Structure 1
Amino acid sequence: MAEDARILVTGATGFVGKWVVIQLLQAGYQVRGTIRSLRRADEVRDGVATQTGPDLLANLELVEADLLDDRGWSEAMEGITAVMHVAAAVRGDEPKDQSLVIRPAVEGTERVLRSAHAAGITRVIMTSSVATVGYGHGTTPGGKRVFDETYMTKFETLKYTWAYCVGKTTAERNAWAFAKANGMELTTIHPGAIVGPAVDGDPSISIGLATGLLEGRTPAMPNNGFAVVDVRDVAALHAAALEKPESIGERYLATAEYLPFHKVADILRAEYPGWPITEKRAPDWIIRLVARFGGPARQIIDDIGNEKHYDTTKSVALLGRAYISGRDAVLASAESAVRLGLVKKPEPKR
């Protein structure tokens, strides 16, 4: 795609959104980012500039548009070559009102695709999740299973669902149906747990994994783990999909490796001795019990006893290199959190 192309990035205030904007600007693209309020425009520019320098900001335009409101979207699509739909409602808790997460995912995706189609834009790259892939497929002997892009989450068969999984899965199903019906060229990127460096003091919940452990706010760790990926690799996959036409019509799993929660703690403990990083683990039965009453446990209950790995053969080929290791991604999260003052350093022992 020509470097003078103008790319629309939805959700430019987000952790992933900022890094997608950064890498597109570094690649020479003109970028228009959507944010819910222009009051946050300076924050976005300042965060982006930490990686691009100030000169490339001349190629960044920020406009106001909300996933739950039609206003602003037709104007946002004017003169756009391709859309990167990154925006999503991501929460660390499980809201009692699941529509707070599901509506932005489902209605927002529909609104973005409908607006792009009305503007004559055919190329869309969408940030999805492994939450749309690895759930509702039961268990396997030993608990270890490898998923590829042919899997689609069946939340209908899950004992417990959570809003993010339902929203993302429904949104992706609808997106593929819309793309097929309207001749749109869709690619979906499916990250695991996104870690890596924050560029400013508002990284959303994405580096909470590291900060919660560093500050001792995680009293005990569950026994499960998760497939992690560095935010810089997630952004790089979006850019690679834009550049390579063979990505059209494809799903790409984006994970570096599976890390048990206790291994994340070990990585941080070795690098940050003296910080209050727990060694305690919560028994599986406690997680299952707590999940009955809702709350954050609902978000990990299906991972208890299930070691989920993802086959990234396709995405590594698209990326053209290996992923940043899980260790390096976790440490990048921690380093940026400490540097930006997102965690409080422990008092020295006397």
Structure 2
Amino acid sequence: MQTGLVLVTGANGFVGKWTVIELLRAGFDVRGTVRSEGRAEAVRSAVAGQLGDAALTRLSFVRLDLMQDRGWLEAMEGVTAVAHVAAQIVAEEPKDPQLVIGPAVEGTERVLRHAVAGGVRRVVMTSSIATVGYGLGHDRGKRIYTEDDFTDLDGMRFTWAYCVGKTLAEQAAWAYARSEGLELTTIHPGAILGPALDEDASISLGMVTGLLDGSTPAMPSNGFSVIDVRDVAALHVAALQQPTSIGHRYLATSDYVPFPQVARVLADAYPDRQITNKIVPDWIIKLLARFGGPTRQIINDIGNEKHFSREKGEALLGRPFISGRDAILASAESAIRLGLLKSKRA
């Protein structure tokens, strides 16, 4: 069993809760950062449901804000490593991009700065494929991206706040790690699906729930690279367990799944539900993207297929990633069980 205390930022999030669970399962002690006691209680409930009440003795919480210095240095006391998981994710492009970019960049800098000040040298950070496969002149056809690829924000015709924030945050993290001798690893998930533990689930689950409850009347034609949240969490743990991961980026993507394929998987699994098969034409997506909104977040994937290599991530994990189909079905099962659908359609 592992030993040591890991500070997990954003412990109450979709990835955060699963990361807490997998760290505890591996034998680490965990101190989670949350914004309120209510969110801490949600993490406790999730942990107890997966591991039993005994695991709660190795779990504690601190109330912190990514945008304020107060409390961060104290939170690093006794910590051997940091899993920086916290992120600001929104379903639609905000009118003020800094609402997303600020916490991503400033929050990352604050966590790393206080880690170094507190004597913590080891950090595993949740990044994204948004920092890998954009602005590189890929407008049509299929391309496979690897950990050696870096998003070029200057090369993008349409940026979106999440992509900008994550890219700038990763750039800042690597620069700071080099200057301070920080032992950094970054994990780069695709669209995160898989089982929700409670109603505080990933926005990506909306791809599934919207089809199940009919709130998505038509879908775009593009696809996305899927990863199960359990694999994302397991990669964070594996990185902490394997010193050879220091200084490396790891893509966390399983299968490339076109949106219509998601609909077919759900229609086969839930034949009593009326899953739409209507497709929004690409030209409409391109037109709407000029005005922001949710289409702005997918416009760069229209007309091309962005695939991401899985070899390095699976080697770190020591097993294949959970399939895209299984991640989709796990999302659906948990959403139905937890009552996350907007309506019940038969």
| TM-score interval, smaller chain | over 0.9
Report the counterpart of residue 106 of structure 2 in structure 1.
107
**1:33 and 2:32 correspond:** yes
Deviating more after overlay: 149-158 vs 201-210: 201-210
Residue 100 of structure 1 aligns to a residue whose secondary structure is helix
Report the counterpart of residue 61 of structure 2 in structure 1.
62
Equivalent in the alignment of 1:291: 289
Stretches of structure 2 that go unaligned for 5 or more consecutive residues are none
**Matched-pair contact (CA < 8 Å) for 1:125–1:241:** yes
* SS of aligned partner of 1:226: strand
**How many residues matched?**
346
Give the AA of the match of 2:285.
Answer: I
Structure 1 match to 2:90: 91
2:22 corresponds in structure 1 to: 23
- The AA in structure 2 aligned to 1:286 is I
TM-superposition CA deviations, 1:85-109 (whole Å, max 9, x none):
0000011111001011000000000
* CA distance in 1 between partners of 2:17 and 2:334 (Å): 15
Specify the code of the residue in structure 2 equivalent to 1:230: D
The aligned amino acid for 1:200 is: D
The aligned residue for residue 153 of structure 2 is 155
Deviates more, 1:213-222 or 1:178-187: 213-222
Letter in 1 for 2:230: R
Deviation at 1:317, TM superposition (A): 0.6
User: In the alignment, what sits opposite 2:341?
Assistant: 343
By how many angstroms is 1:331 displaced? 0.3
- Paired residues for 1:1-350 under 5 Å: 3-139=2-138, 143-343=141-341, 346=344, 348=346
* Matched AA of 2:306: K
What is the distance in 1 between the residues matched to 2:228 and 2:49?
18
The range that moved more, 40-49 or 228-237, is 40-49
**One-letter amino acid matched to 1:228:** V
Alpha-carbon contact 1:276-1:346 (below 8 Å) kept: no
- Structure 1 counterpart of 2:341, one-letter code: V
Equivalent residue of 1:207, what SS? helix
1:155 CA displacement: 1.3
1:344 deviation in Å? Answer: 5.0
2:144 maps to a residue whose letter is V
Deviation at 1:39, TM superposition (A): 3.0
AA aligned to 1:296 is: P
Structure 1 contact 188–251 (Cα < 8 Å) conserved: yes
Give CA deviations for 1:81-136 in whole Å, capped at 9, x if unaligned: 00000000011111001011000000000000000000011100000000000000
Residues 129, 192 of structure 1: 8 Å contact kept: yes
**d(CA) in 2 for partners of 1:14 and 1:47?**
11
Cα deviation per residue 1:255-278 (whole Å; 9 max; x = unaligned)? 011000000010001111122321
Equivalent AA in structure 1 for residue 160 of structure 2:
W
Deviation at 1:345, TM superposition (A): 5.7
What amino acid does structure 1 have at the position aligned with 2:77? E
For the 8 Å contact 1:274–1:346, the answer to whether it is kept is: no
Q: Is the 8 A contact 2:30 2:60 kept in 1?
A: yes
RMSD: 1.1
Gaps of at least 5 residues in structure 1 are: none
Answer whether contact 2:83 2:124 (CA < 8 A) is retained.
yes
Change in Cα spacing, 1:249 to 1:280, as seen in structure 2 (3 Å) is same
Compared with structure 1, are the counterparts of its residues 347 and 106 closer, same or farther at alpha carbon in structure 2 (3 Å cutoff)? closer
Asked if the contact 2:192–2:202 (Cα under 8 Å) also holds between the matched residues in 1, the reply is no
Q: What is the CA–CA distance in structure 1 between the aligned matches of 2:288 and 2:71, rounded to whole Å?
A: 42
Q: Distance in 2 between matches of 1:334 and 1:28?
A: 30
Amino acid at match of 2:107: G
Q: TM-score, normalised by structure 1?
A: 0.97
Q: Distance in 2 between matches of 1:189 and 1:285?
A: 33
Q: What secondary structure does 2:327 align onto?
A: helix
**Structure 2 counterpart of 1:205, which letter?**
I
CA distance in 1, matches of 2:238, 2:40: 26
Give the SS at the match of 1:307. Answer: strand
- Native 8 Å contact 2:215 2:342 kept in 1: no
Kept in 1, the 8 Å contact 2:87–2:103? The answer is yes
- Between the aligned partners of 1:225 and 1:184, the Cα distance in structure 2 is 36
Any idea what the Cα deviations from partners look like across 1:169-214, whole Å, max 9, x if unmatched? 0000000000000000000000000000001121141311111110
What is the distance in 1 between the residues matched to 2:253 and 2:247? 20
Runs of 4+ in structure 1 off by over 2 angstroms are: 344-348
**Are the aligned partners of 1:136 and 1:153 in contact in 2 as well (CA < 8 Å)?**
yes
How far did residue 244 of structure 1 move?
0.4
SS of alignment partner, residue 206 of structure 1: helix
8 Å CA contact 2:228–2:327 kept in 1: the answer is: yes
Q: Distance in 1 between matches of 2:342 and 2:273?
A: 10
Write out per-residue CA displacement over residues 31-59 of structure 1, whole angstroms, 9 at most, x where no aligned residue: 00001122322111112221111110110
